[in-house]
Amino acid sequence: MKKQPIGIFDSGLGGLTILNALHRTLPREDLIYFGDTANVPYGSKSKEAVTKFSLAIARFLEKQGVKLIVVACNTASAQALGKLRKEISVPVMGVIEPGAQKAIESTLNRRIAVLGTEGTVKSNAYPKAILKRDHKIRIVQQACPLFVPLVEEHWGKKPATQLIARDYLNRVKKSGADTVILGCTHYPILKTVISDILGRGVTLVDSADTLAQAAHDFLIEQGKFQTKGKGRVRIYASDDPARFKRLAGYLLEEKIGKVHLKKLDL
């Protein structure tokens, strides 16, 4: 069981931020990443569609013999996690709970803002997770649907991204929130832009490291923690693996080999 890989999936490139964190925290673990580039973005799709895609990916990862599946995608975590845990035999870990806990620990004025896709915001997954732990915290949510395509097109430093981000973040600034959850794996790639607009007094919560630590603790608890060797990374994309590899080079801390094409069995 210790030698089995960990599976990670996201709607596209954004989950590579979590892959990085997992590789840093668990350097001896083999990792299999699946980016559903054929269906990105998930945030504007129905719950039924997101669940269908998530189940197809999870079943593929299950067939690869993984010992844990990490749902890096916030939208999939918000909308499909319950179904995945019912239908997949492998333990499944989402990104919402670790992010919510980190935000609660970070806020000083008990005002938290959530930036997310339309699907994540509509699900109210973050407010539910936060209020379950502390019902007195005030929460504002802001959907940022254009952030994902901007990241996927590597437009993070374009002037247009600054303008769009200022428009999205205006309500967040007015809310007085001192802690902002980056509720999509793509958003940390725009961390500099977001931080410049909100100011240094606002803490940005990127749940990647928190999730990686949760995975670490789970594996130790289950007796599945790998203590020998050097972990390898294998990457799959559901469409255009050459483009995925090119853009992944901007996000990954280490060079990757071949990106394998795997169409989803829907």
How far does Cα 257 stand from its chain's mean position? 22
Positions annotated as catalytic residues are 73, 184
Q: How confident is the model at residue 254 (pLDDT cuts 50, 70, 90)?
A: confident
Mean pLDDT lowest among 85-99, 130-144, 200-214 = 200-214
Cα–Cα–Cα angle for 94, 150, 72, rounded to 5 degrees: 10
The number of angstroms, rounded, from the C-alpha of 187 to the middle of its chain's C-alpha atoms is 9
Share above pLDDT 70 across residues of the chain, in percent, rounded to a whole number: 99
Range 6-94+209-261: architecture per CATH: 3-Layer(aba) Sandwich (3.40)
Same fold? 6-94+209-261, 96-207: yes
- Looking at the whole model, is its pTM more than 0.75? yes
Domain 96-207 coded CATH 3.40.50.1860:
yes
Q: Where are the domains of the chain?
A: 6-94+209-261, 96-207
pLDDT higher than 70, residue 52? yes
Each residue's pLDDT tens digit, 172-182:
999 999 999 99
- Predicted pLDDT of residue 1: 58
What local confidence, expressed as pLDDT, does residue 2 receive? Answer: 65
pLDDT at 140 over 90: yes
Q: CB of 224 within 8 A of CB of 91?
A: no
